[in-house]
Amino acid sequence: MTQLEHLTPRRIVVALLVLALCVASAAASWALGRSTSDPLGSPAGRVATADLTPDLVTNVAYQQALVAAPTGRPKVTVIGTGGTIAGVATDRGSFTDYRAGQIPIADLVDDLRPEIDVVAEVETIQFGNKGSGGYTIAEFHALTLAVEKALKTSDGVVVTSGTDTMEEFAYWLDLTVQSRKPVVMTGAMRPTAAGTVDGPGVIGADGPANLYNAITLAGSRVTTCFGTVLMLGDEFHAARDVTKTSSYRMDTFQTRELGVLGWVDGTNIKVGRAPARVAACDNPQRWATPFDLSTITAAAIPRTEIIYGYQQAGGEGITGFADAGIKGIVTAGTGAGGISSAQSAARTAAVAKGVVFLSTTRTGSGSVYGGTTGSVIAGDDLLPQKARLLLMLSLAYAGGDVAKVRTWVSTIGNPEWDTVASSAGTPPGQLKPAA
């Protein structure tokens, strides 16, 4: 194999973006580092805004977002939905025995004062206060509209949630928020208070630091055009690719094959790589997804479900969903997407009834390829729970056009890189045009 053959489309995307972002990152680090080294240690020195030198940054819209900092502190809205970060433990030493979704988000932000007031002008919205798994798709729809509304007047938004389905909150927002301003998800693996909502802090609670860093990151504007990012334990990840890998560990969030986007080290925000969609920052239409939720009601979003693959799995699950009128099913198959004979037969029958399938793997990483026509679509490296959200939104907007669903599934947030010249004469090495 030659050196060039190692350059898979994904590697080329990542390499080019790293190159572009290195420039921006170097400039951001310079600007942010300058703030940190303020010899007087003045309050203004804590503000992580990036006053970049324009000609150091190649992406015009990205550059403008960073240089167009308002005078003074950035404005950040924190939208609380509950989870462990809002949790109350039985005592200060209890990390696992607690009630999630108890402490109001305004109190969590107040506990960061006065320090957070130096970082940003923060306002809070209590969207809900419960465990992450309790949210419905209708509530997700409303959350997107709340984020969009907040971004009309704020420089960035932080959304707090439980960590169990935080990756789904994050990817949903990534797919649906039309604004290019920063959206940062955060939460905690340990509850914040002991005894009562205003009780003493749980030993080693990670929530306060995560919230502080998430506000710092959102206010810095460094993730402009990144879509939604997920920040925990000083690391931030792309919503599409991050996943919760452990039920208890503090470093539970991992982006298995691609790694973190960057780190928040005090006021130094380091960007190691960027999601591919930042390349479209200069073109708002191309940057945005087709899923503008202001144009549809929550009721218009069809139910989609997930079926797991395993040894001699029965087909009744698929048949039952199809009979119940489910419009889309994601299979979390073995290896490169394999499903059992019974599931395969049930799938064929369901397709005949108009159900659209998205084929993914239960392995937790790696891709599923194949099938360029028909109602069984390859989900590439999307995790099943992420694929379900993309399928759901695609079905809602495609108006029954399965080819459109297929195109969106294979392009949105997952740009294919043309490795050969297209028939239209596009030279190799270009992002395929957006659908």
The full 3-state SS of the chain, as one line of letters, equals CCCHHHCCHHHHHHHHHHHHHHHHHHHHHHHHHHHHCCCCCCHHHHCCCCCCCHHHCCCHHHHHHHHCCCCCCCEEEEEECCCHHHCEECCCCCCCCEECCCCCHHHHHHCCCCHHHHHCEEEEEECCCCCHHHCCHHHHHHHHHHHHHHHHHCCEEEEECCCCCHHHHHHHHHHHCCCCCCEEEECCCCCCEECCCCCCECCCCCHHHHHHHHHHHHHHCCCCCCCEEEEECCEEEECCCCEECCCCCCCCEECCCCCCCEEEECCEEEECCCCHHHHHCCCHHHHCCCCCHHHCCHHHCCCEEEEECCCCCCCHHHHHHHHCCCCEEEEEEECCCECCHHHHHHHHHHHHCCCEEEEEECCCCCCECCCCCCCEEECECCCHHHHHHHHHHHHHHHCCCHHHHHHHHHHCCCCCECCCCCCCCCCCCCECCCC
Closest residue by Cα to residue 108 from 160, 164, 68: 160
From the CB of 380, what's the least distance to ligand SIN, in Å?
Answer: 27
User: Interface with ligand SIN includes 233 (CB under 6 A)?
Assistant: no
Counting contacts by CB under 6 A, is residue 192 touching ligand SIN?
Answer: no
By CB under 6 A, the count of residues binding ligand SIN is 10
**Restricting to residues 100-119, which ones interact with ligand SIN according to CB under 6 A?**
100
Closer to ligand SIN by Cβ: residue 185 or 222:
185
The residue from 13, 28, 116, 189 that contacts ligand SIN (CB under 6 A) is: 189
13 in contact with ligand SIN (CB under 6 A): no
Given 49, 77, 84, 176, the catalytic residue: 84
* Of 385, 320, 314, 379, the residue nearest 355 (C-alpha): 320
Closer of 11 and 249 to ligand SIN (Cβ): 249
- Residue in the block written with tokens 């740009």: 415
Q: Does 222 bind ligand SIN (CB under 6 A)?
A: no
Is there binding between residue 210 and ligand SIN (CB under 6 A)? no
Q: C-beta of 335: minimal distance to ligand SIN in Å?
A: 29
Binding segment for ligand SIN among 26-34, 157-165, 281-289, 358-366 (CB under 6 A)? 157-165
Catalytic status, residue 84: yes
Asked if 191 touches ligand SIN (CB under 6 A), the answer is no
Q: Which residue is nearest to ligand SIN (CB)?
A: 162
The minimum distance between CB 254 and ligand SIN, in angstroms, equals 15
Q: Is position 206 an interface residue for ligand SIN (rule: CB under 6 A)?
A: no
Contact between 35 and ligand SIN per CB under 6 A = no
Which class for 198: exposed (0-12), middle (13-18), buried (19 or more C-beta within 10 A)? exposed
Is 319 a binding residue for ligand SIN by CB under 6 A? The answer is no
Nearer to ligand SIN, 102 or 359 (CB): 102
Chosen residue from 59, 77, 124, 163 binding ligand SIN by CB under 6 A: 163
CB of 165 to ligand SIN, least distance (A): 6
Q: What sign does the dihedral 166-170-171-177 (CA atoms) show? A: positive
Which 127-146 positions form the footprint of ligand SIN (CB under 6 A)? 131-132
State which residue, 119 or 137, has the beta carbon closest to ligand SIN. 137
**Residue 94: CB minimum distance to ligand SIN, A:** 14
- Bridge partners (DSSP) listed for residue 185: 159, 230
Give the residue with the Cβ less far from ligand SIN, 162 or 328.
Answer: 162
Q: Does residue 223 interact with ligand SIN by CB under 6 A?
A: no
Applying the rule CB under 6 A, the residues between 43 and 102 that interact with ligand SIN are 83-84, 100
Which of the stretches 114-122, 158-166, 200-208, 230-238 binds ligand SIN when contact is defined by CB under 6 A? Answer: 158-166
Question: 138, 144 in Cβ contact below 8 A?
Answer: no
* Contact call for residue 230 and ligand SIN (CB under 6 A): no
Residue 207, interface with ligand SIN (CB under 6 A)? no
Piece of 22-30, 162-170, 203-211, 360-368 that binds ligand SIN (CB under 6 A):
162-170
Active site residues: 84
* Contact residues for ligand SIN, defined by CB under 6 A: 83-84, 100, 131-132, 162-164, 187, 189
